[in-house]
Amino acid sequence: MKKTLFPTPQDAEAAFYDAFAKCDLDAMMAVWADEDEIYCVHPNGARVSGMAQVRESWRRIFASGQTLHLQLREQQQLNSMMLSLHSVYEHVSVSGGGRSPSRAIATNIYLRTAGGWRMVAHHASPAPAPIPAEPHRVTKTLH
């Protein structure tokens, strides 16, 4: 089976989150590099390494059959010729789940390979609760 060519790290990232939202394991694994050194850390989870463990971790997540909705916010990128690091806030909600959306901060690392850009690491951690904005105080000065 021939893998999709991702000409840019942004194309690989778009495919990663599309596969995530669709719970499509084959599409998810098409984004990952075929390397033993790849790794993945899901929120509150242990690090899993290698293609077999990474695949199994996503299979377990997708096995629920729930429909996921993802919103990405505050994306930042650091790009070089061979490596691209992406930091993003993930807001994930489940259709009919009755739960409030979960928030994570994720770092995604992409490597330029002979077969295009591929993910080599995904590390997601629970995001802290947003800090409520302080009420705007009006200061009056009497002369």
Residue 68 belongs to some domain of the structure: yes
Q: Has residue 12 got a pLDDT over 80?
A: yes
Question: pTM for this structure?
Answer: 0.82
- Rounded to whole angstroms, how far apart are CA atoms 108 and 120? 8
The single residue listed with the structure tokens 């394991």 is 25
Sheet with 83-94, side-by-side order of all strands: 47-49, 39-41, 116-126, 102-113, 83-94, 68-79
pLDDT digits (tens, 9 = 90+) for 84-120: 999 999 888 776 555 556 888 999 999 999 989 999 9
| Residue ranges making up the domain that contains 114 | 9-126
Banded model confidence at residue 139, pLDDT cuts 50, 70, 90: very low
Residue 84 belongs to some domain of the structure: yes
Residue 59 belongs to some domain of the structure: yes
Residue 77 belongs to some domain of the structure: yes
Banded model confidence at residue 67, pLDDT cuts 50, 70, 90: confident
What was the pLDDT predicted at 49?
Answer: 96
CA nearest neighbour of 57 among 70, 67, 65, 47: 47
CATH value at residue 40 = 3.10.450.50
CA nearest neighbour of 110 among 72, 71, 77: 77
Residue 64 belongs to some domain of the structure: yes
What was the pLDDT predicted at 100?
Answer: 59
Residue 133 belongs to some domain of the structure: no
Number of domains in the chain: 1
